[in-house]
Amino acid sequence: MKVFSAPERQKIHYPRNFLVNGAPQPNPEVPERVDRLLQAASAGGHDIAAPADHGLGPIAAVHTPEYLRFLEHIYERWARIPGASEEVIPNIHPDRREASYPLSAVGQAGYHMADTACPIGPDSWAAIRWSANCAASAAEAVLGGAPAAYALCRPPGHHAFTDLAGGFCFVNNAAVAAMVLRQKHARVAIVDVDLHHGNGTQGIFYRRDDVLTVSVHADPIRFYPFFWGHAHERGEGAGTGYNLNLPLPRGSEDAAFLEALNRGLETVAAFAPGALVVALGLDAFEGDPFGGLAVSTEGFSRIGARLAGLGLPSIVIQEGGYLCDALGDNLAAFLGGFEADHKTN
């Protein structure tokens, strides 16, 4: 499987802290994640390739112009504020998306950043763009005939809405890939197997019937992202019935995860998509620092095999999965299980 990564460009985004239960903690979304995952992909014999620079086109197909201007320029604007923090971190938020759009850098930070887990530093925008370039390049490879491709996206993306960052995410890489695939395929499915619900991905496609969104994740009733990811959220308008959430109790192991995934894949099969995007989170692992679910390394192999069983042209987009001894092993298990069972017509 071809792997797209721009490690030196993606690693320049280096958020230092985020708030957990009101207390500052070291941010786990660190550059070393790229090194660990790339080492595992290389050791597995996968073809490592540099992504092309696709410009703003693939990103602009998903995100609003004012949001992209914000991401590109907010750090330099923030740095001009006397006494401002070293990273852009919001301290005020509107109570609704329909609120007026301010000129203030502080106000725009609150409007475009859902939480304190997505600090923006001097080099963040460049890394965000190259992460999205990985997704777009993987999608182009699949459109060009590759049966599957893996985009080692970092920073991740599935918590990013059309105009809102959150949860370490800025540009929604899975949505970028899906929109590139839509150039050829009338219907595309996104299956998210991250520990956390892909709330941004859900939001982007919630009123659409051309992209099916399915997410298996820890129950958000007492877990991030809290406000999205519940089973009753099915879509709206034309998108009603095209969003499926499969929340799991905290601590669920392989059997429960795979059972939920099977139900999700039945819905994917009924949707009859032309291509598949997998939002791959390795943070569902039993030893991940977030500790929400208890999927084993072997479990990731079986998850990969189940997804491959759909027999669709597929893009795997890296989402979560944080530093632990088994991080690389978990990626290797997923890719190995996926490749062993993946056949396309």
User: What DSSP string runs through 115-134?
Assistant: SSS--B-TTHHHHHHHHHHH
**H helix or E strand, kind and range, residue 262:** helix 254-271
Q: What is the pLDDT of residues 163-193, one digit of tens each?
A: 999 999 999 999 999 999 999 999 999 999 9
The count of other CB atoms within 10 Å of the CB of residue 57 is 11
Q: What percent of the chain has pLDDT over 90?
A: 97
Give the per-residue pLDDT at 116. Answer: 95
- pLDDT of 220 > 60? The answer is yes
Give the per-residue pLDDT at 345. Answer: 46
Q: What is the pLDDT of residues 44-97, one digit of tens each?
A: 999 999 999 999 999 999 999 999 999 999 999 999 999 999 999 999 999 999
Q: What is the pTM assigned to this prediction? A: 0.97
Average pLDDT over residues 295-312: 98
What is the residue type of 137? S
Which is nearest to 119 in space by CA: 128, 100, 288, 9?
A: 128
Domain spans, the chain: 2-51+127-341
Average pLDDT over residues 287-314: 97
Q: How confident is the model at residue 342 (pLDDT cuts 50, 70, 90)?
A: confident
**Sign of the C-alpha dihedral, residues 189, 213, 56, 186?**
positive
Give the per-residue pLDDT at 344. Answer: 59
Q: Which of 19-33, 139-153, 212-226, 264-278 has the lowest mean pLDDT?
A: 19-33
- List, by residue number, the catalytic residues: 159
Bridge partners of 190? Answer: 213, 277
The Cα–Cα gap between 164 and 64 comes to: 10
Give the per-residue pLDDT at 20. Answer: 85
Q: Is 150 helix (H, G, I), strand (E, B) or coil?
A: strand
Topology given in CATH for the domain delimited by 2-51+127-341 = Arginase; Chain A (3.40.800)
Q: Mean pLDDT score of the chain, rounded to an integer?
A: 97
